[in-house]
Structure 1
Amino acid sequence: MKIQIIKYFKQLSITRKVILILITILVIGYIFCLPRQLFHVPYSTVVTDRNGELLGARIASDGQWRFPPRTTTPEKIKQCLITFEDRHFYRHWGVNPVSISRAAYQNLKNKRIVSGGSTLTMQTIRLARNESRTFGEKFIEMILATRLEFRASKEKILSMYISHAPFGGNVVGLDAATWRYFGHPAEELSWAEAAMLAVLPNAPAMIHLSKSRQLLLNKRNRLLKQLYARKIIDNSTYELAISEPLPDEPHPLPQTAPHLVSRFYQERNGKYSISTIDRGIQTQIENAAERWSNEFNRSDIRNLAILVIDIRTNQVVAYCGNVNFERKQAGNQVDVIQAPRSTGSILKPFLYYAMLQEGSLLPHTLLPDIPVNINGFTPQNFSLQFEGAVPASEALARSLNIPAVTMLQRYGVPKFHTFLRQIGLKTINRPASHYGLSLILGGAEATLWDVTNAYAYMGRSLLQLPQTECSLLLADAEGSGESEVFASGKSTDTFQSGAAWQTFNALTEVNRPEEIDWKSIPSMHPIAWKTGT
């Protein structure tokens, strides 16, 4: 076959050979004329909760509110766009000859550009190229538009257009526009809202909320009338839609879990991320943090953080990195969950567990709570009192310092230091000799993230579940799983259920900061907890 083609080519005249070569070059050029990636623009960082509700976003690096591209277009905005911009969108191959001819006639008649005749596919190419509008550029857009029709489906082209269309000011794309103008996702658009957004990209610099509002309203209502005339909407829907007012001004984006959104911005910049956060729980936690912050402010304590992990799913359901994020003072924008802080007494349960597990301690083992001096180190209890002989479980529940130091001296600082590293306390990274016996009383620093994960490991051991670092990322826009940025995936089998149960059982005796006797109320749940002042 190949030989026959060569023979046939040799038999052709020079003119036909030249024509054939030119045609081949043109076909190859047409095939490869469209870049693999059309848009090379930065995107905003967008974070939602586990159910897709927006938690917050950070502006793109070029100062535009441009959310990551959509893969679908809501039905209302689709109908409005096609009716307003390109009624034959599903019947042409990127170029509508009738529209082009009509636009050319109108432009020549008026001796200026009054109509472009561009299809939605051509407008998508223009948005991607971002070149000046000339006749030569229009011809290039037509060529590339037909090529795009071969590559992508109509739905894909529509989603590309709606993701990059300008909507006035620094708002680009449907998702950013719906949140900025209406304060809700695109899937909840009313017909009036969809119609307003459909007419905005046509002249976003001339007509928008703060300029020529009446013209914008008139264009929106004309489009609604066309939708009614084409029987896309019924009479009652039309009447309700035209009575709906335009929004007064752009809405601020949600600011839920702002420290988490900032973390995603640093580590997943420009991506759309579905987090493991439950927005309902997150809101409750943030309200609780604000109430306690008001109390603590009296003692000049201005920063606090809360991390909530669902033990069974091993996912973070609430992430409150600090309070008063918007104030930009007193370190309120610092994510305390990720910041190393003194461990205080929070490591005592781990020492208790370790000694139980190796058999060198039992819950009722008596420990001395008497004045001691260990090479000049004289630990004191918070109460400045001494209890004599105290059962180990009670010493843990009451967080007595002297028994804890005695336990660490018996167990060995190097061995406990190794244990803490095994359970994921990464910031305890100096030699054991650097900390000494003060390691158990706050002589080291750890992050709330690491400490909470370590306690979660212990809790998951009781449920016979894998002991792995909890996750923050449920999926991204492409539906892929969590990123190693947010969960290392490393597994540990350090904790065994027997000693873990004994440890938690002792911690249920910790006095709660409540004025009531919680044990006398049947509806109150037992809680194992530990303070770490």
Structure 2
Amino acid sequence: MKSIINFIRRNKIKSAVVLLTLVAYYFCLPKQLFKDPTATVITSQSDELLGALIADDGQWRFPASVSIPDKFKNCILLFEDEYFYKHPGFNPVSIFKALKENLGAGTVKRGGSTLTQQVIRLSRKGQSRTYFEKFIELILATRLEFRLSKDEILNLYASHAPFGGNVVGIDAASWRYFNRDASNLSWAESATLAVLPNAPSLIYPGNNQKLLLAKRNRLLKKLLNKGTIGKLTYELALAETLPQKPYPLPQIAPHLLQKIAQTHKGERVKTTIDFALQERSNAIAKQHHNHLKQNEIHNLSILVLDVKTREVLTYIGNSPTDKEHQNNVDIIDKPRSTGSILKPFLYAAMLDAGDLLPHTLVADVPTHYGTYQPQNYDQTFDGAVHANEALSRSLNVPIVRMLQEFGLSRFYHYLKALKLKDLTYDANHYGLSIILGGAESSLWDMCKSYAAMSSTLNHFNANSSQYYSNEFRQPIFNANQSVDFGTLTHEKEVFDAASIFLTYESMKQVNRPESDESWEYYDSSQEIAWKTGTSYGFRDAWAIGTTSDYVVGVWVGNADGEGRPGLVGVQTAAPILFEVFDLLPKSDWFAKPFDEMLEVNICKKSGYRASSICDDTELRFIQASGQKTQACPFHKLVHLDESERYQINSSCEATSNINSKPWFILPPLQAYYYKTKNPFYKPLPPYRSDCLESSEVSMQFIYPNQQSTIYLPKDFDGKTNDLILKLAHSKPELEVYWYLDDYYIGSTKDMHDMAILPSPGTYMVTVTDELGNELKHKITISE
């Protein structure tokens, strides 16, 4: 150490020169050798290529690989730099031989560069190939050997070497010329690519094929002589043909590629996509697109989520249509009219709040809220229908009435808790039509919400009846990410587990498409909670389903919003949904969350908690919050004679002869429609003639609705048709007197229909029965 210090003191100038030289040598190599833009590349969860976007400079240049395949590694080392792992960045023997041959020929006949030097040359684009430049490359190559390992240098070369045309790097070259990953190349294919960087122009189709073939075969012969390959492998390799033209790169998930490129441009991203499932779902999408486009329906999207991990397994943003029909538009995250897809959320919210039991009867009768008049799809009414059936049959009128009863603001609060980002207005802006498609949401948010509900139920049953605090979170498609469900708590995030389970039980009963309608009779079938939706004007068709493991969502329509006849959820989206589910492993049905359920006595006919006079009951599990619902209001104790044909009372019969019996009675308007579809419904018997009748009667107008505007139709001959007023009476045998304003227009008995032909204007219709009960109804007649 002292001798070094003494030498520096005696030779200060020399020491300074050496020091400066060392500093210059240390800093001579740029920190980042290559700054070229790279392609955006996405792969599946098992590393299969899903697609790539060309780099900004128009080159197919993939991001640098971590490693290169062994076959290509053996080929490139043997062809370019056999002593790569032994030299310090340059090979003196090769340089001497090249210098001697070139000087003797008077021109450059041979290169003596190592792979390390070639990496430097590739990074120093456009430099002339002079001896001085070679000297600079040599210095930088030795410096690179200090910075990186040999394998890292080799990977840099393989990632940035030119392979002809606009193809750079082994990864892009293997796909462009052989349509497969570099790790799957044969010896002949690896040898072909190994000789190309040395003369990349040889790859052009039809040009220099003999020269390329000769170079490849010479390399294969060297591999044989070195013992790297056997004789049979060598002979088979010689028989392989050369690539004739570049292949297009795979586009298995093009819309996901575009989405990822927005935030990870120029990067290689490993996604959560299941490659086989994505490919088979693509085939389903193509098949249905070919069928749907015959009806001028051009777009569809499919999303598959893993409930447990919240990973995206399939992402089809649009059908394989053309540019004219917006094939580049990713519809998965675009807001569309929801149709009936929100109905299960209302059902779950009412269960969760304790305002409803699954089988509670709800009214299905003509309904009018100001100018808003909801209609069922088939334009008929059931009078009264069980709530779970209203959901499974997607009946509009009962659902709107349920929303009115529950409260628009309360329901909107639940929707906001689901984090639906496209609900940008307040509740009053949407009104009651929000439940029938008056709002917009995306397939992404809908699938996210159903996945969160399924996960909530799974976690509750798996974690000693506890919830996670962050269930309603975004799904992921980047394999390097993971979902944080938060912490365990006894507090639900949105819906309780019992309400979700009972909602899914109802959704499981939805009638499946014709091809799958007998699913329950096949062992291979699985239980699926699913729902369809159709927006107003037949613009959007939805189908979303869930099992305990997966959520599948499908949207069908036109990206430009054009409606088409037949664009209905159950006809167009549902068949796709079930075909995709058939690709997925069979899932067990959700476990019943007993800790949040109670077994109570339920009235079979009404679905309410059984009262003391309900005569037909059964034990059912309901959500714990449902215990506060009222007892059955439709069963009343009536007094009958021995034949049970007449009602009696103490005014006409001794108390000992009165037979008291529970009777299921619906309000008149509900009963009017209910009995047409329930032939066993029995109206109350009339009072016996010698008895004083009770004045407890009720009337309701069937048609028209309160304060409605009516347009009278005309016949083919131009004659205006009558307006038929219809009334439901709890005792139809009573005579009813009709008045239009203050003018008496007639009476009816048994069937309370009255025909009138008023002039345009506003009228008050008044009816009075023979017991003095009165009902008024305002109508407007328009031309």
The two structures have a TM-score, normalised by structure 2, of 0.64
Shift of 1:519: 3.1
Higher strand content, 1 or 2 = 2
Query: What's 1:328 paired with?
Result: 323
Query: What's 2:337 paired with?
Result: 342
Query: What's 1:283 paired with?
Result: 279
2:187 & 2:519 partners in 1: Cα distance? 54
Higher mean Cα deviation, 126-135 or 393-402? 126-135
Query: What's 2:231 paired with?
Result: 235
Instruction: Give deviations 1:252-309, integer Å, cap 9, x for gaps.
Output: 2212122112222233211111111111111221222222223322332111111111
Letter in 1 for 2:24: G
Query: What's 2:89 paired with?
Result: 94
Is the alpha carbon distance of 1:247 and 1:450 closer, same or farther for their aligned partners in structure 2, counting shifts above 3 Å?
A: same
Map 1:167-206 → 2, pairs under 5 A = 167-206=163-202
Higher mean Cα deviation, 104-113 or 156-165? 104-113
Query: What's 1:397 paired with?
Result: 392
The two structures have a TM-score, normalised by structure 1, of 0.93
Tell me if 1:384 matches 2:379. yes
Instruction: Give deviations 1:201-236, integer Å, cap 9, x for gaps.
Output: 001135544421110000001111111122221211
1:43 & 1:20 partners in 2: Cα distance? 44
Alignment partner of 2:361 out of 366, 377, 385: 366
1:520 & 1:138 partners in 2: Cα distance? 78
Query: What's 2:475 paired with?
Result: 470
Query: What's 1:259 paired with?
Result: 255
Tell me if 1:310 matches 2:306. yes
Is the alpha carbon distance of 1:235 and 1:71 closer, same or farther for their aligned partners in structure 2, counting shifts above 3 Å?
A: same
Query: What's 2:518 paired with?
Result: 517
Query: What's 1:107 paired with?
Result: 102
2:160 & 2:240 partners in 1: Cα distance? 26
1:370 & 1:84 partners in 2: Cα distance? 84
Higher helix content, 1 or 2 = 1
Is the alpha carbon distance of 1:237 and 1:522 closer, same or farther for their aligned partners in structure 2, counting shifts above 3 Å?
A: closer
Instruction: Give deviations 1:142-190, integer Å, cap 9, x for gaps.
Output: 1110011011111110011000000000110001001111111111111
SS in 1 for 2:50: strand
> Is the 8 Å Cα contact of residues 204 and 245 (structure 2) preserved in structure 1?
no
* Alignment RMSD (CA, Å): 2.1
1:300 & 1:232 partners in 2: Cα distance? 59
Is the alpha carbon distance of 1:278 and 1:110 closer, same or farther for their aligned partners in structure 2, counting shifts above 3 Å?
A: same
Q: How many residues are matched?
A: 518
Q: Please tell me whether Structure 1 or Structure 2 has the larger radius of gyration of its CA atoms.
A: 2
> Is the 8 Å Cα contact of residues 423 and 454 (structure 1) preserved in structure 2?
yes
1:399 & 1:137 partners in 2: Cα distance? 77
Instruction: Give deviations 1:81-128, integer Å, cap 9, x for gaps.
Output: 111111111110001111112222222222222222100000011111
> Is the 8 Å Cα contact of residues 56 and 258 (structure 1) preserved in structure 2?
yes
* Structure showing greater relative contact order (alpha-carbon pairs closer than 8 Å, 6 or more residues apart): 1
SS in 1 for 2:362: strand
> Is the 8 Å Cα contact of residues 202 and 212 (structure 2) preserved in structure 1?
no
1:461 & 1:271 partners in 2: Cα distance? 35
1:246 & 1:63 partners in 2: Cα distance? 25
Shift of 1:11: 4.6
2:345 & 2:269 partners in 1: Cα distance? 34
Query: What's 1:417 paired with?
Result: 412
Letter in 1 for 2:501: W
Tell me if 1:503 matches 2:503. yes
Shift of 1:341: 0.5
Letter in 2 for 1:257: A
Is the alpha carbon distance of 1:230 and 1:519 closer, same or farther for their aligned partners in structure 2, counting shifts above 3 Å?
A: closer
Higher mean Cα deviation, 388-397 or 207-216? 207-216
Alignment partner of 2:149 out of 146, 150, 153: 153
1:219 & 1:7 partners in 2: Cα distance? 57
> Is the 8 Å Cα contact of residues 271 and 479 (structure 2) preserved in structure 1?
yes
1:88 & 1:438 partners in 2: Cα distance? 76
> Is the 8 Å Cα contact of residues 8 and 15 (structure 2) preserved in structure 1?
no
Shift of 1:398: 0.9
Shift of 1:421: 2.1
Higher mean Cα deviation, 305-314 or 341-350? 305-314
1:152 & 1:7 partners in 2: Cα distance? 32
Is the alpha carbon distance of 1:431 and 1:490 closer, same or farther for their aligned partners in structure 2, counting shifts above 3 Å?
A: farther
Tell me if 1:26 matches 2:32. no
Letter in 1 for 2:513: P
2:71 & 2:520 partners in 1: Cα distance? 56
Query: What's 2:599 paired with?
Result: none
1:220 & 1:189 partners in 2: Cα distance? 14
SS in 2 for 1:309: strand
Is the alpha carbon distance of 1:5 and 1:276 closer, same or farther for their aligned partners in structure 2, counting shifts above 3 Å?
A: same
Tell me if 1:375 matches 2:370. yes
Instruction: Give deviations 1:438-464, integer Å, cap 9, x for gaps.
Output: 111111111100000100011111211
Q: Which runs of 5+ in 2 are unaligned?
A: 461-467, 535-783
Shift of 1:5: 10
SS in 2 for 1:473: coil
SS in 2 for 1:305: strand
Higher mean Cα deviation, 290-299 or 267-276? 290-299
> Is the 8 Å Cα contact of residues 208 and 216 (structure 1) preserved in structure 2?
no
